[in-house]
A and B are shown apart, each in its own frame.
Chain A
């Protein structure tokens, strides 16, 4: 482990990679602040660039930096103009925006940055402890268990989708799996379901699909509803004083500690993620605060900013645990990262730590570095970066659409891909109109080939379905998947969260 850590240190601290982290964080903050572009869209746009870089550690460092920057940028626009660019920072606006209205935008931003930094750092340390442990357990897994584990992951994602939504989320997962079977598979070298179209021979491009599922519907919404891109209900004015008092620091310290831990463990669960962590963090802190502090919540409490911010950053880090150790993404964002890794010829899973320790540790260390960059570099720059919020939508929207097109085109160099993008984008917008969650579709699409390969391998080894009952761990995992879908208590809890305004995806 120590050798891997050292290899990771030397990779992460090379001049190129430090510059990449800084660039990634800046770009992420910049775009994350724009209305309608969440971390998933930003990462999807950045993937062609990451793939051109070629070196998997550098590419992953870039994407992780962009991810953190985007989450941070989202909280900035929540605080300044009450328009969260990202679902996981909605809770930040509850108290951040009132603070900004009182002329304390600088203070709110500093609290958010410190809380994010602490949350991300504590998350990275926990990741360093838990990921190797989980990976060593996962090394005992065979294809049958992998298959079962992926079924558990997909069921959990559907189960967390909320009341009245489990069927829809499951259907979307199935649709994603169905779309993944189009094209030539690994196991059977014959094309399937291509309908004779040559361009479908290699299947649908996952970047195209990611763009069509997330970036394009958001852009279409911005066009449909001009109020959506309006800058909140007022300008928060100048960002002047970034300082916080010693007393405030003392008050937020325990909040940050608690919420970093809680957020991390929520982030590890597949399907939970940063959005739920931030709302839960906010609710918990409000409930355990003293009476007079409780009244402050919603009117501009520093604790109300610190809680969701540390929770969502810790959860973002936590969601890397299943990705890096099991190769199973728990959220839309990590699914896109998984797709990028596969495109870079890296297969995440328990072998990653053994075969390519420098990648694994470089990512963890660059997470830490990324948090530092956000605190030291981005915070003082925020007043200038925030100017991007005043770009008129007539100019902004064509550019967002153009970047979506470019993202799909650069990866494939194929104009058919652009037509697929527009077609899928329209379908995705309709699906969102009807309240179908889209993240399960993408996760299903990315996990589809892995699921089928492991299933086939297990079938071949046991010459049939016998692996289900002959391997206790497989049976246990599949039972767990069934319980997850059937158990209604999850739904009830999520129903309350949904009522509090939790949006889909993070």
Chain B
């Protein structure tokens, strides 16, 4: 089964869970006075849930005729050549950055992110990488902090 139908199944599950909440659990908490209003907080979500379920079913069962091989961005025949490992490692690096930004401070974590990012992509000129990352981290911090006036804590937590 094609990827787009699998995705439609996932969306269908999400819509069913969403619809269940809207139809069966949300209204219990509604104060009596609100019940006389023609519209409840759950009204719009109910419509959306039904629409989402109908549309994802339509995709799963292929009701709309596809236009043959679409202009897809991804060339399936070349899937083997795609660098999934690199992409996953970079995503992992982004998650690490998100978790370490506060504890390590902006300067250290940004330096590490840029340095390791280019390392993961196969760059090995360590000195150049370090220089570029250091200058970029410092410059961006200055720009955001001083020019834009948005505070970014520059140093690790234990030094502040």
Chain A interfacial positions (CB closer than 8 Å to B): 48-49, 52, 162-168, 170-171, 174-175, 177-178, 181, 185, 187-188, 190, 192-193, 220-221, 223-226, 392-395, 397-399, 401-402, 405-406, 409-410, 413, 415, 418-419, 421-422, 425-426, 430-436, 452, 455-456, 459-460, 463-464, 495, 498, 501-503
Closest residue of chain B to A419 (Cβ to Cβ) is B98
When A174-B48, A422-B94 are in contact, do A192 and B82 touch as well, CB less than 8 Å?
no
B94: nearest residue on chain A (CB-CB)?
A422
Q: Determine the chain B residues whose CB is within 8 A of the CB of A168 once the complex forms.
A: 4, 59
Smallest CB-CB A-B distances: 4 pairs: A398-B117, A418-B98, A164-B66, A434-B4
Q: Are the CB atoms of B87 and A434 closer together than 8 Å?
A: no
* 28 contacts across the A-B interface (CB closer than 8 A): A48-B150, A162-B67, A168-B4, A170-B55, A174-B48, A174-B51, A175-B11, A175-B52, A181-B45, A190-B41, A192-B41, A220-B90, A223-B86, A223-B90, A397-B117, A398-B114, A401-B90, A401-B94, A402-B110, A410-B150, A418-B101, A435-B72, A456-B39, A459-B38, A498-B70, A498-B71, A502-B71, A503-B71
Contact B67 A501 (CB under 8 A): no
Q: B52 — which chain A residues lie within 8 A by C-beta?
A: 171, 174-175, 178
Instruction: Write out the residue numbers on chain B whose beta carbons fall within 8 Å of the beta carbon of A425.
Output: 91
A452 and B44 contact, Cβ closer than 8 Å, known pairs A164-B64, A398-B114? yes
CB-defined contacts of B45 to chain A, threshold 8 Å: 178, 181, 192-193
Chain B proximity of A278: nearest CB distance (Å):
16
Contact of B74 among A406, A433, A459 (CB under 8 A): A433
Enumerate chain A residues within 8 angstroms of B117, measured Cβ to Cβ. Answer: 397-398, 401-402
Report the Cα distance A421→B78, complex, angstroms: 28
Residue from A166, A171, A432, A502 with most neighbouring chain B CB atoms (10 Å)? A171
Name A430's contact: one of B7, B29, B55 (CB within 8 Å). Answer: B7
Q: Other than the known A415-B99, A418-B97, A501-B71, what 20 A-B pairs have Cβ atoms closer than 8 Å?
A: A48-B150, A165-B70, A174-B55, A175-B11, A223-B86, A223-B90, A223-B121, A224-B82, A226-B83, A394-B121, A395-B123, A399-B114, A405-B98, A406-B144, A418-B101, A434-B3, A434-B6, A455-B44, A456-B44, A460-B39
What residues of B have a CB within 8 angstroms of the CB of A226 in the complex?
A: 83
Please determine whether B121 and A415 come into contact, CB atoms closer than 8 angstroms. Answer: no
CB neighbours of A220 from chain B (8 A): 87, 90-91
Which residue of A181, A421, A460 contacts B48 across the interface (Cβ within 8 Å)? Answer: A181
B159 cross-chain contacts in A, Cβ below 8 A: none
Question: Does residue B127 face the partner (Cβ distance < 8 Å to A)?
Answer: no
- Tell me the complex Cα distance, A460–B38, Å: 6
Return the chain B residue nearest A501 by Cβ.
Answer: B71
Q: What 0/1 readout, one digit per residue, does chain B (83-112) give for beta carbons within 8 Å of chain A?
A: 110110011011101110110000000100
User: How far, in whole Å, are A362 and B70 apart by their CA atoms in the complex?
Assistant: 42
Whole-angstrom distance between the alpha carbons of A452 and B37 in the complex? 15
A453–B81 CA distance with the chains assembled, in angstroms: 48
With the chains together, A177 CA to B15 CA distance in Å? Answer: 12
Q: Which of A418, A433, A452 is within 8 Å of B94, CB to CB?
A: A418
Taking a contact as CB atoms under 8 Å apart, the answer to whether A426 and B91 are in contact is yes
Residue among B21, B70, B73, B136 making CB contact with A193, cutoff 8 Å: B21
Task: Give the CA-CA distance A175 to B56 in the complex, in Å.
Answer: 10
CB distance from A41 to the nearest CB of B (A): 15
Complex: A50 Cα to B98 Cα, angstroms: 23
**Chain A proximity of B31: nearest CB distance (Å):** 10
Asked whether B26 is an interface residue with its Cβ less than 8 Å from the other chain, the reply is yes
Q: Does B33 contact A (CB under 8 A)?
A: no
Label chain A's interface by main secondary structure.
helix
A136 to B19, CA, bound (A): 40
Tell me how far the C-beta of B120 lies from the nearest C-beta in chain A, rounded to whole angstroms.
8
Contact size class for B? 35 or more
Number of A-B pairs, beta carbon distance below 8 Å:
183
Least Cβ–Cβ distance between A88 and chain B, in angstroms: 15
Q: Chain B's nearest CB lies how many Å from the CB of A419?
A: 5
Q: A52-B148, A460-B37 are in contact. Are A395 and B140 (CB under 8 A)?
A: no
Verify A49–B148 contact, CB threshold 8 A: yes
Question: Which residues of B are found within 8 Å of A413, using beta-carbon distances?
Answer: 150
What residues of A have a CB within 8 angstroms of the CB of B38 in the complex?
A: 459-460, 463-464
B18 contacts A by Cβ under 8 Å: yes
Q: Which residues of B contact A455 (CB under 8 A)?
A: 39, 44
Instruction: Give Cα A434–Cα B95 distance, bound, in whole angstroms.
Output: 24
Q: Do A171 and B11 form a contact, CB below 8 Å, given A192-B26, A221-B73, A401-B90? A: yes
Complex CA distance for A177 and B55, rounded to whole angstroms? 14
Within the complex, the shortest CB–CB distance from B152 to chain A, in Å, comes to 8
- How far does the Cβ of B139 sit from chain A's closest Cβ, in whole Å? 12
Q: Does B35 contact A (CB under 8 A)?
A: no
Most chain A CB neighbours (cut-off 10 Å) among B71, B84, B140: B71
Q: Are A394 and B118 in contact (CB under 8 A)?
A: yes
Taking CB atoms, residues of chain B closer than 8 Å to A193 are 18, 21, 45
Interface assignment of B23: CB less than 8 Å from any CB of chain A: no
Could you mark each residue 1-26 of chain B with 1 if its beta carbon is under 8 Å from any beta carbon of chain A, else 0? 01110111001001100100100001
In the assembled complex, how far is the CB of residue A465 from the closest CB belonging to chain B, in whole angstroms?
8
B87 engages A224 (CB within 8 Å): yes
> Are A164 and B114 in contact, with the CB atoms below 8 A?
no
A431 touches B98 (CB 8 A): no
The complex places the Cα of A406 from the Cα of B110 at a distance, in Å, of 10
Chain B residue numbers with a CB within 8 Å of A495 are 67
Tell me the bound Cα distance from A164 to B72 in angstroms.
13
Contacts A223-B121, A395-B132 hold; do A164 and B98 have CB atoms under 8 A apart? Answer: no
Q: Which residues of A contact B97 (CB under 8 A)?
A: 405, 418
Residues on B with beta carbons closer than 8 Å to the beta carbon of A221: 73
Interface-centre pick from B44, B65, B83 (highest chain A CB count, 10 A):
B44
A49 to B4, CA, bound (A): 37
Provide the bound-state CA to CA distance between A55 and B147, in Å. 16
